[in-house]
Amino acid sequence: MCFEKYIPAKIEEEGKEERENFYNGLGKPIGIGIPVKPVELKETWSMEEVLTIVYIVVDDAYKKLFGSQRYFRTSPNDEPKFTDSEVITLALVAELAGYKSRHAWHNQVKKNYRKLFPDLCDRTRFVRRLSKLSRAMEQIRQHLLFLMNVDLSRVRVVDSFPVTICHMRRVSSSSQPFEYYASFGYCASKREHFYGFKVHMVTDTFGIPIAYVISPGHVHDTKGLAFLLQDMNVLDQFLPHLISIFGDKGYVGADFAHNIKHYFGVEILPISRDYEKDLALPTSAYNELVGSARKIIETSISVFTGSLNAASTHARSISGFLTNLVSKFTAFNLANYLNMLLAQPVLQVSSIVN
């Protein structure tokens, strides 16, 4: 790696202490060491410095979680020169920079940032290695949740959003091999039908994604939440700490709320409809409280689908689609972590890469 010589060259006298404190905090949990006032460093970041910062966080997490590259290697070459941390770094920065094509991003790195990646492999091998590292990225994503202390929150917010594979009129002639996974669905917020998948997502009260599952487009939100809680229960991922989950009108129903409470020990708090009298909840004040929580996850989904292009996919296989989605979620959490280190508002993902 050729990042070590680059960091000191970027530290100037003006703001030197703030920049050094930021670098010293990379890879460490968010705590009392964060600045009191927002630190304005992102405006001065070049692409080289963004690559440097992301690599430091990724490599630190990779070594803590897996120790060495042998963990994910099946070939005789246990220590490739182009490391797994570099592969993941390039994937995450590509998402933050808004690149939709891995081919275009690989060419950009090869042309302009080869000094940082002297052992860069060819594009085909890069994509193949990234696919094998999807589990590593997911564990790094969860490690970032630990660094951001999201497990201390006792409340979650749930929602879903569609991922469109192709336009409805092109489904019959589409060559994308998702016929056994994708299906037709309806997005109530957009009031339109789509063909593809649904991503069911749980966030904390700041909008940081904690867990997610993918389903065919026709699956109802209530089933998606049940799948989410089942996965979280199996993984023992924060579920014992939960008190309640806020949801929109798609999660309403006394029977559903009772079943979630019975099987998972979690209170589901939806915005009640006029005919749902059995919920026995105050209407106006309650809906106002839930509505404020709803705005958080709606903003999170808006940023996620807008800045990271998560509402559609160019993948040609289900494994490629899943790899892309994992890299987007990991990049999203990484951006939120960096914002916290700078005492900046979370969800400002687009400002990470100028």
**pLDDT (tens digit, 9 = 90+) per residue, 221-274?**
989 998 888 887 766 555 556 678 888 877 877 788 888 888 888 888 776 554
Residues 22 and 127 in one domain: yes
Q: Is 265 left (phi over 0), alpha (psi -120 to 50) or beta?
A: left
Do 135 and 267 lie in a common domain? no
Is the model's pTM score more than 0.75?
yes
Residue 27 in tokens: 């890879």
Long-range CB contacts (within 8 A, 24+) of 186-194: 187/161, 187/162, 188/250, 190/162, 193/168, 194/162, 194/164, 194/168
**Structural domain contains residue 334:** no
Beta bridge partner(s), residue 200: 160, 213
Predicted confidence band of residue 209 (pLDDT cuts 50, 70, 90): very high
Q: What is the structure's pLDDT at 283?
A: 59
Would 40 be classed as within a structural domain?
A: yes
**pLDDT: which is higher, 232 or 307:** 307
What is the per-residue pLDDT for 198? 94
25-57 in b/e burial notation, b at 16+ Cβ within 10 A? bbbeebeeeeeeeebebbeebebbbbbbbbbbb
Do 224 and 88 belong to one domain? Answer: no
Q: Are residues 302 and 173 in the same domain?
A: yes
Q: Tell me the C-alpha distance between 295 and 95, whole Å.
A: 24
pLDDT of 72 strictly over 60: yes
59: enclosing H helix or E strand: helix 47-66
Domain for residue 1, yes or no?
A: no
Output the six-digit token pair for 153: 């929150």
Question: 138 and 155, same structural domain?
Answer: no
Beta bridge partners of 244: 155, 267
Distance CA 62, CA 68 (A): 8
Region 54-71: what's the mean pLDDT?
A: 90
Crossing angle for the helix pair 102-112 and 123-132, to the nearest 10 degrees: 120
Q: What is the mean pLDDT of residues 301-327?
A: 90
Structural domain span for residue 86: 6-142
Which run of H or of E encompasses 69? none
On whether residue 326 sits in a domain, the answer given is no
Is residue 348, in this structure, part of any structural domain at all? no
More confident residue, 238 or 171: 171
Q: Decide if 331 is inside a domain.
A: no
pLDDT digits (tens, 9 = 90+) for 177-207: 566 788 888 888 788 888 889 999 999 888 9
Q: pLDDT-derived band of residue 275, with 50, 70 and 90 as boundaries? A: very low
Instruction: Please give the structure tokens belonging to residue 254.
Output: 């006394």
Last-in-domain residue among 109, 142, 175: 142
Compare 162 and 76 and report the one with higher pLDDT: 162
Please check whether residues 156 and 191 belong to one and the same domain: yes
Same domain, 258 and 278: yes
Strands 192-203 and 155-164: antiparallel
pLDDT at 296: 86
How many residues are there in the chain?
A: 354
Of the ranges 40-44, 165-169, 323-327, the best mean pLDDT one: 323-327
Q: Are residues 137 and 180 in the same domain?
A: no
296 sits in which H/E element: helix 284-307
For residues 27 and 161, membership in a common domain is answered with no
The percentage of residues in the chain with a pLDDT greater than 70, rounded to a whole number, is 79
In a domain, 82, yes or no: yes
Q: Do 129 and 206 belong to one domain?
A: no
The reply to whether 324 falls in a domain is: no
- Residue that is last in its domain, among 142, 170, 200: 142
CA distance 144 to 30: 10
- Are residues 165 and 121 part of one domain? no
The number of folded domains in the chain is 2
User: Which of 142, 163, 182 is a domain's end point?
Assistant: 142
Residues 59 and 155 in one domain: no
